[in-house]
Amino acid sequence: MLRKIKLRIFKYLTSPRMLSYYKNNKLIKKTRISSSVEFIKEENIEIGENVFVWHHTILDGSSKLTISEGCQIGANVSIFTHSSHIAIRLFGKHYTNECKGKIEDGYILKQVFIGKYTFIATGSVILPGITIGKGCIVSANSLVTQNLPDYAIVQGNPAQIIGDTRKLDKRYLKRDKKFQDYYQEWDS
């Protein structure tokens, strides 16, 4: 009995939780980020209000990463602003001692921007230098290797555009005036 209680307490203490997000001691309104999110150079990461980032996600701020208002990011998503795959090959076993993380060393360092009210589903990967427009849906396990226009629905490896969220939303917008008002509020 005592063992079961200890295990339950351990599980409770070590399980990921959704937390309010603070940047520079300031609460970012309605933004919740899992305790298991891995931040790389958080000082270069800008996160808007009303954002949700789920468990075991990597947010890389080696270069600037902007996640705009209302974005929803699923579990196990990786958003990268750097890559060392070229530098590692150039330096070989001397990489850790010699590479200074410079572009001249084959180190890739590019900003990532994610537009308002975009949804990035579980298991997706966003590569350095990518701009994702507002209102997009990145389907589960997609690899985003190119910029995405506003309202794109993408899936696959590499991700390909398969639709437009405005078509998906149309039936809901017709049904209820409040949806139209809310949609136009962030869409402007």
- Give bridge partners of residue 79 from the DSSP assignment: 59, 126
Please indicate, yes or no, if residue 104 is contained in any of the structural domains.
Answer: yes
Please indicate, yes or no, if residue 174 is contained in any of the structural domains.
Answer: yes
Please indicate, yes or no, if residue 9 is contained in any of the structural domains.
Answer: no
Q: Which helix (DSSP H) or strand (DSSP E) does residue 182 occupy? A: helix 177-187
Query: What CA–CA distance (Å, rounded) separates 19 from 16?
Result: 9
* pLDDT, tens digit (0-9, with 9 covering 90-100), for 129-154: 999 999 999 999 999 999 999 999 99
Please indicate, yes or no, if residue 5 is contained in any of the structural domains.
Answer: no
CATH, residue 79: 2.160.10.10
* pLDDT, tens digit (0-9, with 9 covering 90-100), for 70-126: 999 999 999 999 999 999 999 999 988 888 878 888 889 999 999 999 999 999 999
Q: How many domains does the chain have?
A: 1
Q: What is the pTM of this model?
A: 0.91
Domain that holds residue 111: 18-187
Please indicate, yes or no, if residue 7 is contained in any of the structural domains.
Answer: no
